[in-house]
Structure 1
Amino acid sequence: MRNVDEIDTLVDILASAIGAPTNPTKISNTFKSEQGINYSNKTISNHIDYLVEAFLISKADRYDIKGRKYVGANLKYYFSDVGLRNARLNFRQQEPTHIMENIVYNELLIRGYNVDIGIVEVYAKNDEGKTTRKQFEVDFVVNQGSQRYYIQVAYDMTSEEKQKQEFNSFRNIPDSFKKIVVVNGTKKPWRNEEGFVIMGMKYFLLNADSLEF
């Protein structure tokens, strides 16, 4: 196989970027700017597909919730085995939120759900009266038949700023499907005053019907 060194580096880049939007063009630019290597986005795309077919990684498409359409750019990639991902990086880059996000993604796939990354676009007027566009992200849009859930993953929700960040995405979704935040810890599910469900990671993992609360 050719490009073995490049593929090794590609795996490292993907391992470092779990939970972060990226695409072959961005990765190609990284190779060119940081290593002086011309590694075309087409070749990178093919090599990523090989990694997916080998069940090393999975890719999640971005879905425009309001527009009800898929957005091609900036997918997210997750490792099928988080332990292998950590070992690949010599157990550096232990980012709790992104690792939690990867684990939740894998568990949802195991339970038979289709999982996408959600975006919500909001248009509003600024102080000068100009219309501005703001984009909110929903970690996961989870579908199975007629069921749908919106899920955010947050390691720490103690600060008011973090709560606002996670909940604002939900507040701008124009439908009544269940909205869930998975947080670190053992917390049993409960609903806040807006009807959003908050549950601990341990509860989510140990209860196959946890989304039905």
Structure 2
Amino acid sequence: MAIGDLTLISRDKYLNDLIVRMGNGMVKVVTGARRCGKTFLLFELFEKPLRAQGVDDDHIIEIALDDLMYARYRDPLSLYDYVKSRIVNRSEPYYVLLDEVQYAISDKELRSDEPPQLYGVLNGLLRMRNVDVYVTGGNSKMLSTDVMTQFRGRGDEIRVSVAGVGEGRAGESVAAPHR
């Protein structure tokens, strides 16, 4: 589907990668180049199978940390408190979708040898057995490296690439987000 000069295609491979990892007890870390569709994959495409499975809106916790509306959650402890406040039933599954998580990591933390507080938040959410966590970030190199080190077997990386020519021809058109 073309919208102006923009053509949107579905990313079935990456969507399936997310779906098969649902409930695996790990933080799903979506990495990739800028503007490759990480946010669209997580907030638009991935929500459809959740809703098709009957997941209620209040069980999908979406936070775009690059949006000024969510700026107060760039503080990791505020983010944790907010997410925990939304999880009201410990026997039902909740899906936490965090976009641009690098906004919750301070410059001081980036220069430190200690892991950022955000990683403690993510690991804390993992300890809640009914919570499934998905994150994207603009600093994909950092996130990709940290999946292997800081999450020590608790992180699962999905690398998204820029759509190739073949993918564009064979891809299924999808509607543009109304945001």
Given the two structures, how large is their TM-score scaled by the length of structure 2? Answer: 0.31
Larger strand proportion, structure 1 or 2? 1
Larger helix proportion, structure 1 or 2? 2
Given the two structures, how large is their TM-score scaled by the length of structure 1? Answer: 0.27
Q: Which has the larger radius of gyration?
A: 1
